[in-house]
Structure 1
Amino acid sequence: PETAKKWYYDAAKHNNHDALLNLALLHYRGEIMNPSAELAYQYLDNALKKGSSQAYYWMGVFLEKGIGCPKNLIEAQKAFQKAISLNIPGASYKYGCLLYEQGLASKNRRKARNLFIQAKDHLITYVTQPQPNQVNAGYACYCLATIFKAGQGTEPSQRTMRYWLEVSAGFGYPKAFVDLYRLLKPTEFNLALKYLKRGVEIGKNAEAIYELGLLYQSGFLSIEKDNNLATKYFEQAAKLNYKPALDRLMMS
C-alpha cells in the first residue's frame, strides 16, 4: 500500500481523479501509515471535483457516516442519487439501505411509508442486477423480507416475505436461516430444520446455534429431547457472546 500511495501521489499531482480516489480509500481503510479520515475526505472531494464518477458513491458513504466531515444524510442521499444516475455498482444498495434505516427511525407514518416504498424499489433493483455482492445482497433481501412482513410501504404478505427470506438465505445471510426456521417450524418442520442446520453450518451464527439448543432441550417431532446436546449448543452460542445463551447457562 505504501508503494501504491507513492504512485497515486505522483498521479494526483497531475489531477488524475482515479489516483485521488484511491488515496482517499487508502486513508479511509487504514491501509497506509498514519491514515487520516480528514485527508480521506479531502482527497475524495478533489476526486469529485476532477470528474470521478465513482467518487459520488463514496461521497455518499462518507457523508452518511461522517467520515472526515460532518454527518449529513440529506447530502448523502444526493450523492447516492447521482451515483445511481451514473450506473455506479452498489449505489442502489447503499441508497436503499439508507432509506430503509430512515424509514425505521421516522416517527411520521406517512413519511416512513414513502421511505419504505423507495427503499423497496432500490433494494429490488440492486439484488436483481447481475452478480451483486453476496453479503450486500443477503442483507438487502432480508430488509425486503421485513418490509413485506410488516407491510412497510406495501401490503403485508407472508408469501412474499418467505420468498425474500429464501433468497436472502441463498446469499448466506445468517438471520434469514433462523427466521425461515421459525416461520416454517409449525407446518414444514423438515424444511425448517434443514434451514436451521444450514444456518449453523455457515459458522459463527450464534442465534441459529442457540435455536438448535432449544430444539434439543425440549424435543419436537423427529427430534428427541437431549439435554447434553442442548447444553453443547448453548455453550457454543455462549462462546460467541450470545446473551440468551449466556443467561440460560447461568440459570442451569
Structure 2
Amino acid sequence: MVFSILPPLFKRKHATSLTSRLADAQSLMAEGQDPVKGFSHLSVLAREGVPEAQFLVGQAYLNGTVVPANLVEGVRWVRRAAQKHWPDACFILATLYLYGLPPEAESEAEKTAASVFDAEPKGFVKPEANFEKSAYWAKIAATQGHADAQAMYGYVLCNGPEHIRNLEEGMVWYHKAVAAECVQGYLGLGLVILNTAQTDDEYKQAARYLKKAAESGLGTALYLMGVLAERGLGRPVDMAEAIQYYAVAADKNVSSAQAKYGVALMVGQNVAKDTTRGETFLRRAALSGDAEAAATLGDLYGRGGEFPPNYAEAIAWYRFASEHGHAAASYTLGTLYEEGIAVPQDPQEAERWFNKALEQGHEGAPAGLGNLLLEGKISAQAGARVMKRYKEKAEQGDLLSAFNFGVCLAEGVGVQKDEAEALKWLHKAAQGVVNAQYWYGTLLLTGKGAPPNLQEGRAWIEKAANAGMAQAELAYADLLLNGEGGEKNHIKALEFYRKAADAGLVWAMFSVGAMYGGGHEVPQDRLAAQKWFYAAAQKGNAAAQLMLGRYFAQGLAGEHNREQAKFWYQKAAAQNIPDAIQELAELTKQEDNLEPSLL
C-alpha cells in the first residue's frame, strides 16, 4: 500500500519543482535582476523537455533578449514546444511560416546561422510564405482556444492558396476570435466583409468590426476606417474624420496612411497646411515602398511651387515609383526623356520607359511609343511590337488604338504604307476619336485610299473642329474661306481661325491677320491685322514677318517705322522669302537716296 502511493507523491513534488524553477527563471529575466542567470535556468529546463521553457528560450533567440538574435535557434526551440502542442509556440511558428522561413530554419541541426535580424546580405531573397504549415500549426493552437491563432487560422483559410482556401470555415474561426475580443479577429472579419461588400448595410457591418480594431490602435484598421469615411461607404462622406484616422494610422507607420496624410498636409485639406511635415510623411511612405507616394514626390519636386524645383530629386522619385510598379511614373519618365525635360533628350531611354509603362498597363504608353515611331526615333523591334499591340487592341474595339494604327498605315511608319487600309481603321476610330475625324476627313479631301470626296471630307473636319481640335479648326476655316466641299463663308472662317489662333496655331494667327487686312468679306481692321501678324511673326512665321515689314514700311496701320520695317524684312529674308529680300533692298535704296535730315 505504501509503495503504491509513492510514485504519485514523487510526481507531484517533481511537478511543483518544475513550476517553481520556471517561475524563478522567468522572475530573474522579467525583473532584470540577473537575466543571464535566468536564461541559463530556462535553457536547462528546455533541455529537460519543458515545453514552456522551450518556447521562452526560442522567443529569447527570436527577439534577441539576453542572447544575440538568431532565427535558426529561435525556430528550433519554438518548434520543439509546438510539437508538444504548447499554444503560444504553435501560434508563433504559424506566424513565422506565414512570414516566410529560410531553408536553414527548417533544419533541426544543432548549428547557428547568421541572424535574419541583421542587415540582409547582398542578393538576399525573402522566403515565400508557407500557408500549409502555417495553417497546420495555427489550427493546433486555435482548437485550444488561442484567440490570436484563431484569427490567424481564419486569415489563412480566407486568403491562402486555392487548395486550402475555405471562406466559410475561415469566417467561423474569425467569429471565434471576435468572441474572445481578439483585435486581429475584428480586423480579419471586417476585411472579409469589406472585400465582398456591395450594399450599404454590408459596408456598415464591415465598419463595425473595423472600428473595434481601430479603437484598439491597430494601424491597418485605422487606415481602413479613413478610407470608408473618405469614400462614404456605409456612411456619409466625412473628409475631416478620414484625415483624423489617416493621421493616427500614419504615426503607426502605415505607409498608405502616411501618403494620404502627407498629401492632406501639403494642401491643407481638413488640417492645418504644413508642407514640410507633408513632405516628411510622403517620404516615409515612399521609403516604405508606397509607389503612389513616391510618384507624388516626383510631381512635387518636378513642378516646384511650395518647394524649389529639384529635377534630380524628381527623377529619382519617379524611378523609385516605377520600380515599385507605378505605371504613370514610368510613362512620365518616358515623356521627360522624349522631350528632354530635366534630362538630356534620349529617344532610347524614352522608349525603355514607355515600354515599361506598357508592361505595367498604362493606357497612354502605346501612344507614347507611337509618337517615337512616327518621328522615326524607335527601334524596328519596338516599332513592330507597338504596331502589333495597336492592331490587337483595335481589333478588340479600342478606338484610340484604331486611330494610332490608321495613322501609322497612312504614313507608312512601322508597317508598309497602305492608305486604303488606313482609311478603314480611321473611319472606325472616327466614331469616337476627334483626331481620327480630322485625319479621316483629310484623307477623303485629298483622295488618299479612296477617290476624293470633298463634301464628306469637309463634314468630318467640321465635326472635329466643332469638338475643339485646333488643327481641324484651322483646316475647316481654310475650307470655309475657299468654299471647298461646301459653302464659302468668310465670317465663319474668321471665327474658326480665331479659335485655332487662340489655341496657339501660328498659321491661324497669320490667317486672322490676313483676313483683317482686307480683301475678304469681313470688316477691315488693320490695327487688329498688325497685332495678329506680330503674334505670328514672333513665333517665327516668315509670311507674318514679311507682312509686318510692309505694315511698318507703308504705315498700313497708321505707323511708319523704317527701323521696325527693316527688322522684320530681315527676319523674313533670313528665311529666304523672295519678296522680303526685294522689298528690303528697295527700302535700303530709298534710305540711301534720302537726305540725312529726313531719315
Q: What TM-score do the two structures reach when normalised by structure 2?
A: 0.35
User: Contact (CA 8 Å) 1:25, 1:40: kept in 2 or not?
Assistant: yes
User: 1:128 aligned to 2:287?
Assistant: yes
Whole-angstrom distance in 2 between the partners of 1:53 and 1:80: 12
User: Contact (CA 8 Å) 1:24, 1:43: kept in 2 or not?
Assistant: yes
Structure 1, 203-212 or 70-79: larger mean CA deviation: 203-212
Whole-angstrom distance in 2 between the partners of 1:68 and 1:11: 24
The Cα of 1:152 is off from its aligned counterpart by 3.7
Q: Secondary structure at the match of 1:114?
A: coil
Residues 57 and 223 of structure 1: CA distance in aligned 2, closer, same or farther (over 3 Å): closer
Q: Secondary structure at the match of 1:192?
A: helix
1:234 aligns to what?
390
Residues 223 and 93 of structure 1: CA distance in aligned 2, closer, same or farther (over 3 Å): same
Q: What TM-score do the two structures reach when normalised by structure 1?
A: 0.76
User: 1:57 aligned to 2:210?
Assistant: no
Counterparts of 1:71-220 in structure 2, within 5 Å, are 71-88=237-254, 90-99=256-265, 103=267, 114=273, 117-129=276-288, 132=289, 137-185=290-338, 186=340, 187-200=345-358, 202-220=359-377
Whole-angstrom distance in 2 between the partners of 1:188 and 1:219: 13
Whole-angstrom distance in 2 between the partners of 1:239 and 1:47: 49
**Which runs of 5 or more structure 1 residues have no equivalent in the other structure?**
none
Aligned CA RMSD, in angstroms, stands at: 3.5
**Which runs of 5 or more structure 2 residues have no equivalent in the other structure?**
1-166, 405-425, 430-435, 441-599
Find the structure with the greater CA-based Rg.
2
User: Contact (CA 8 Å) 1:117, 1:153: kept in 2 or not?
Assistant: no
The Cα of 1:64 is off from its aligned counterpart by 1.8
User: Contact (CA 8 Å) 2:190, 2:210: kept in 1 or not?
Assistant: yes
Whole-angstrom distance in 1 between the partners of 2:327 and 2:364: 8
Q: Secondary structure at the match of 1:205?
A: coil
The Cα of 1:42 is off from its aligned counterpart by 1.3
User: 1:25 aligned to 2:191?
Assistant: yes
- Once the two structures are superposed, what CA deviation does each residue of 1:190-225 show, in whole Å capped at 9, x if it has no partner? 22222222333x2533311221122222313x657x
- Once the two structures are superposed, what CA deviation does each residue of 1:94-149 show, in whole Å capped at 9, x if it has no partner? 3235556xx3x97xxxx9993654432211111223xx3xxxx2222111111112
Residues 46 and 240 of structure 1: CA distance in aligned 2, closer, same or farther (over 3 Å): farther
The Cα of 1:233 is off from its aligned counterpart by 4.2
User: Contact (CA 8 Å) 2:193, 2:206: kept in 1 or not?
Assistant: yes
Whole-angstrom distance in 1 between the partners of 2:177 and 2:383: 64
Whole-angstrom distance in 1 between the partners of 2:286 and 2:294: 7
The Cα of 1:28 is off from its aligned counterpart by 0.6
Task: Report the count of equivalent residues.
Answer: 234
The Cα of 1:30 is off from its aligned counterpart by 0.9
The Cα of 1:25 is off from its aligned counterpart by 0.9
- Once the two structures are superposed, what CA deviation does each residue of 1:158-204 show, in whole Å capped at 9, x if it has no partner? 2222221122222231122221122112422322222222333x253
User: Contact (CA 8 Å) 2:258, 2:281: kept in 1 or not?
Assistant: yes
User: Contact (CA 8 Å) 2:211, 2:222: kept in 1 or not?
Assistant: no
Whole-angstrom distance in 2 between the partners of 1:43 and 1:30: 14
Whole-angstrom distance in 2 between the partners of 1:89 and 1:183: 28
User: Contact (CA 8 Å) 2:301, 2:310: kept in 1 or not?
Assistant: yes
The Cα of 1:241 is off from its aligned counterpart by 7.7
Structure 1 letter corresponding to 2:374: Q
Structure 2 letter corresponding to 1:205: H
Structure 2 letter corresponding to 1:182: T
1:70 aligns to what?
236
Residues 195 and 231 of structure 1: CA distance in aligned 2, closer, same or farther (over 3 Å): closer
Structure 1, 190-199 or 139-148: larger mean CA deviation: 190-199
- Once the two structures are superposed, what CA deviation does each residue of 1:34-55 show, in whole Å capped at 9, x if it has no partner? 9810101111223334x24233
The Cα of 1:239 is off from its aligned counterpart by 7.0
User: Contact (CA 8 Å) 2:201, 2:234: kept in 1 or not?
Assistant: no
Answer 1 or 2: higher relative contact order, Cα 8 Å, separation at least 6: 1
User: Contact (CA 8 Å) 2:335, 2:368: kept in 1 or not?
Assistant: no
Residues 208 and 127 of structure 1: CA distance in aligned 2, closer, same or farther (over 3 Å): same
User: Contact (CA 8 Å) 1:57, 1:88: kept in 2 or not?
Assistant: yes
Q: Secondary structure at the match of 1:57?
A: helix
